[in-house]
Chain A
Amino acid sequence: MMDLFDKRAPTSDADGEGYGSSGEMKKTQYMLQLLGTPWDPDTLKCILAAAEQGMELKSGYLDTLADEQDSEEYRELFEFGTYPSLKESDYTLAGVTGILAFINARGLGYSLTPKNITVAAVQDFWIDVAITEATPNIQALVQEKVVNQLKDPNCAVDMLVCAAAKENLVPILDALDKQIGDDPYIIGKYSFADIHWTALIHLLLLTGEGADLVQQRSQINRWYSSLATRKSNSGQSIVSFSLLPSLEDIKNKKLSYVVIDDF
Chain B
Amino acid sequence: MGLFSRKKDTSSQEMELLGVAGQIATLKCLVLAGLKGISLRTTFAPESTTVDQVNSYQYLAQNGRVPTLTQGDFSVSGARAIMTYLDIRGKGTSLTPRKARVLGQQNYWIDICYQLLGPAVQAISDGNATDEDKATCNSILNRLNELLGENLYVVGPMTFADSNVAAYIYALKVSNADFSQYPNINNWITRLENEMTDVLLPMLTAAAVNKVA
Contact = CB atoms under 8 A, between A and B. Distances in A.
A178 B104 CA distance: 33
Contacts of B116: 80, 82
Contact of A125 (B55, B77, B101): B77
SS of A interface (majority): helix
B139 A125 contact: no
Interface in B39-66: 55-57
Interface string B53-97: 001110000000000000000101110111011001100000000
A121 B101 contact: no
SS of B interface (majority): helix
A80 B140 contact: yes
A106 B100 contact: yes
A260 B108 CA distance: 27
A182 interface: no
B67 to A, nearest CB: 11
A165 to B, nearest CB: 17
Interface in A101-131: 101-102, 105-106, 117-118, 120-125, 127-128, 131
Interface in A124-150: 124-125, 127-128, 131-132
Interface residues of A, number: 28
Contact of B85 (A95, A99, A106, A121): A121
Interface string B199-212: 00000000000000
Given A95-B112, A105-B100, A132-B57, A124 B107 contact: no
Given A102-B100, A128-B57, A97 B111 contact: yes
B142 to A, nearest CB: 10
Contact of A121 (B81, B112, B139): B81
Nearest to B77: A125
B111 A124 contact: no
Contact of A98 (B82, B106, B143): B106
A243 interface: no
A120 B89 CA distance: 12
Contact of B56 (A82, A102, A122, A128): A128
Given A128-B57, A131-B56, A117 B108 contact: no
B108 A121 contact: no
Contacts of B100: 101-102, 105-106
Nearest to A114: B84
Contact of B78 (A99, A105, A120, A125): A125
A61 to B, nearest CB: 21
Contacts of A95: 107-108, 111-112, 115
A91 interface: yes
Contacts of A97: 107-108, 110-111
A79 interface: yes
B1 to A, nearest CB: 17
20 contacts: A91-B104, A93-B105, A95-B111, A98-B103, A101-B100, A102-B103, A102-B107, A106-B100, A117-B84, A120-B84, A121-B82, A122-B76, A124-B78, A124-B80, A124-B81, A125-B76, A128-B78, A128-B80, A128-B81, A132-B55
Interface of A: 79-80, 82, 91, 93-102, 105-106, 117-118, 120-125, 127-128, 131-132
